[in-house]
């Protein structure tokens, strides 16, 4: 057995060695998980929430996005240690925006009643609301007032330092994305987005963004190669000044960072609240492509982007299950697991775990522990 020598040259006692071992083990276990998985429920054949939480834990998935405050899911999450993005459905935005009392009741019912047993990380107030999207434009004027009321309700509950309030956008709000340094929001969404960005800066919350290289690729396969979209390009594809891009994910995220800078949000972090690849239902939607994309995504987000290097990218894969009640057909096939809880293909979620024992910050590792 090798001797363990202290910094002063003396041999450590057996109890000290044991304590040191426990300390190292605890530091490793407290690593930051940069990959979570979105738990959607639009299926009539999905397992109960209690089994879903067991599934997360058995695969080492430590973060979850939930799209509405499903009470069974919140109950199942008690004591699990899983960190949660809790969603406010778009249909609830008007009520929460119109009356602070409604926001107080929402926070009491869906957050305080489950805290501290459930580890809430963010409240996502609305998902992919856009003032120029006919399907969601009706909700746009309610997003910011609802965010403010939820923030105030968390503050009155003493939770404002534990739970961040944000909203999730999609990339259709970007008007220019090439090259990434010239990223900018569409002019016709600035009056909607700029006040939201200002609010996020004021409360030190990140922006949530749903980023899919799949949709960019299938929308322009002539100019965007499949390897560039799947993280498999063998060489640099885009050069933007001194920055080099070998994958589309980084280019899209850096375009968003550039757009935020132009809108007064240079200080904001971005949480990728959805990303994934379908396994069936449309062009380039295959099991092989889905496995390649999601496996590479897990490994990739431990590091940063060319614009913001050496920063882990907190990312949530969409989605846990295939959901047979979604439309169109493509939307039914984003699951990492079948409804019977069997994996569609193997993934190692531990590859997304990073840690820094001394500074408690997210830093990339060159290899897994």
Contact residues for 228 (Cβ-Cβ < 8 A; gap 6+): 217, 237, 246, 247, 248
Evaluate whether 287 touches 279 at the Cβ level (below 8 Å).
yes
Evaluate whether 316 touches 274 at the Cβ level (below 8 Å).
yes
DSSP 46-59: PPPHHHHHHHHHHT
Among the options 51, 83, 128, 314, which is catalytic? 128
Contact residues for 267 (Cβ-Cβ < 8 A; gap 6+): 201
Active site residue 274: yes
> Angle at the Cα of 145 (from 140 to 146), degrees rounded to 5?
85
Task: Considering only CA atoms, give the Rg of the chain.
Answer: 21
Measured distance CA(239)–CA(252) in Å, rounded: 14
Active site residue 314: no
Among the options 51, 244, 261, 274, which is catalytic? 274
Q: How far is CA 170 from CA 59, 136, 140, 209, 327, in A?
A: 28, 12, 13, 6, 18
Give the residue numbers marked as catalytic.
128, 274
């Amino acid at each position: 057995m090798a001797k363990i020598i202290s910094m002063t040259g003396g041999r450590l006692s057996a109890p000290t060695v044991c304590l040191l071992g426990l300390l190292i083990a605890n530091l490793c276990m407290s690593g930051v998980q940069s990959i979570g998985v979105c738990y959607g429920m639009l299926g009539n054949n999905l397992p109960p929430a209690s089994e879903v939480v067991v599934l997360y834990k058995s695969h080492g998935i430590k973060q979850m996005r939930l799209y509405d405050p499903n009470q069974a899911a919140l109950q199942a999450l008690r004591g699990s240690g899983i960190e949660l993005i809790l969603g406010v459905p778009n249909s609830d935005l008007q009520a929460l925006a119109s009356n602070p009392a409604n926001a107080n009741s929402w926070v009491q019912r869906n957050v305080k009643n489950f805290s501290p047993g459930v580890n809430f990380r963010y409240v996502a107030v609305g998902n992919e609301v856009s003032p120029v999207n006919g399907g969601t434009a009706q909700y746009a004027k309610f997003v910011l007032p609802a965010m403010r009321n939820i923030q105030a309700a968390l503050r009155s509950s003493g939770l404002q330092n534990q739970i961040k309030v944000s909203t999730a956008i999609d990339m259709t709000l970007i008007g220019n994305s090439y090259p990434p340094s010239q990223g900018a929001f569409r002019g016709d969404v600035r009056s909607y987005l700029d006040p939201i960005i200002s609010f996020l800066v004021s409360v030190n919350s990140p922006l949530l963004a749903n980023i899919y290289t799949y949709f960019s690729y299938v929308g322009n396969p002539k100019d965007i190669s499949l390897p560039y979209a799947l993280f498999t390009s063998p060489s640099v594809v885009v050069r933007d000044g001194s920055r080099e891009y070998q994958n589309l994910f980084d280019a899209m995220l850096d375009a968003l960072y550039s757009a935020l800078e132009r809108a007064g949000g240079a200080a904001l972090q971005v949480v990728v609240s959805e990303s994934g690849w379908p396994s069936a239902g449309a062009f380039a939607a295959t099991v092989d492509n889905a496995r390649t994309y999601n496996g590479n995504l897990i490994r990739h987000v431990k590091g940063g982007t060319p614009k913001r290097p050496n920063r882990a990218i907190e990312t949530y894969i969409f989605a846990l299950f295939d959901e047979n009640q979604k439309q169109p057909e493509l939307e039914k096939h984003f699951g990492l697991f079948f409804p019977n809880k069997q994996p569609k293909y193997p993934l190692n979620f531990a590859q997304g775990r990073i840690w820094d024992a001394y500074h408690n910050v997210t830093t990339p590792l060159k290899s897994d522990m």
